Chain A
Amino acid sequence: MLLYLFDLIWDIMPDMMHINTGIWHRHFLKMLTGQRFPAAVKSLKKNSDQENKKLAQDHADCKKQLKTWALTKVKPTSCAYIPSF
């Protein structure tokens, strides 16, 4: 009954506790540790072979792109950083 008074922008309180952890922990850190992968693509009957191949290719490209975000060996940026042995 009172729904018409509700404004989607003004009447929500975006909670920065969960937004922060959602962005930096569940997306960004998982990407750095190589734990983010797109869901597997199934070939559909309604698609042509070419379309299914394109989907599979996009999926492979996406995985390749995500892999570039997983941390690899890098040189230390300055001598102030002392590596642990």
Chain B
Amino acid sequence: MLLVLYMHFYCQDAGAKLDARGRSLAGEPSWIRSNVEIYSHGGNLTAHDWLQVIQSAGDYILAGLFPNLPDRMEAIHALLGACSKILRATSAEDSNNREELDALKLEIVLALCHCEAEFPKTEMAVMFHILLHVPDAIYRWNNVRNFWSFFGERYHTRRHVFFTYVGLMS
């Protein structure tokens, strides 16, 4: 009973909660690496970590972040859902799925409108609207993995070392 009362009234720092949830995701091989602390060490997360977190665990990580503001949470989850669906959407060459991609596009529009109503105006940068154009690119190039930068950026360090070694870069 005391424990329940303690749990009920204990106020835990929301940042620590985010970190704890990030840490609890570790363990599965080839998924999110261990000791991911999104709040306190967010700078250590790589683009791949963010991809995995948003694609598979975003709702869990950010659930209940603002318990007294349901509209705000709804906007966050709408944006999360839109990003997650974009990452999963496919469009093979022989599939005639323009309607599905248009439905996805509409969902993104609604999510962005929701965010515009809730987020501070300083945070809704103009470039956020690029999310709208991703379904068109998916329609043309299939899944987003066909046109993301992981391929090129993976070799940045090695390329730098190579060109430094051969003296082409200072």
Q: CB within 8 Å of B: which residues of A?
A: 9-10, 12-25, 27-29, 31-33, 36, 38, 62, 65-66, 69, 71-77, 79, 81, 83-84
Contacts and interface: CB of A to CB of B under 8 A. Distances in A.
Contacts of B18: 32, 71
B87 A81 contact: no
Interface in B31-84: 38-39, 42, 45, 47, 50-51, 53-54, 63-67, 79, 83
Identify the interface centre among B42, B45, B131: most chain A CB within 10 Å of its CB.
B42
Looking at chain B, what size class is its interface with the partner chain?
A: 35 or more
Given A20-B50, A38-B122, A84-B16, A75 B86 contact: no
Contact of B47 (A14, A21, A72, A77): A21
Given A13-B141, A18-B149, A19-B130, A27 B7 contact: no
Contacts of B42: 25, 29, 33
Contact of A14 (B17, B63, B137): B137
A79 B12 CA distance: 12
Contacts of B156: none
B141 to A, nearest CB: 7
A14 B64 CA distance: 31
Contacts of B87: 16, 20
B104 to A, nearest CB: 14
Contacts of B20: 81, 83-84
Contact of A33 (B12, B39, B50): B39
A38 B50 CA distance: 25
Nearest to A84: B20
B14 A71 contact: yes
Given A24-B50, A31-B123, A75 B12 contact: yes
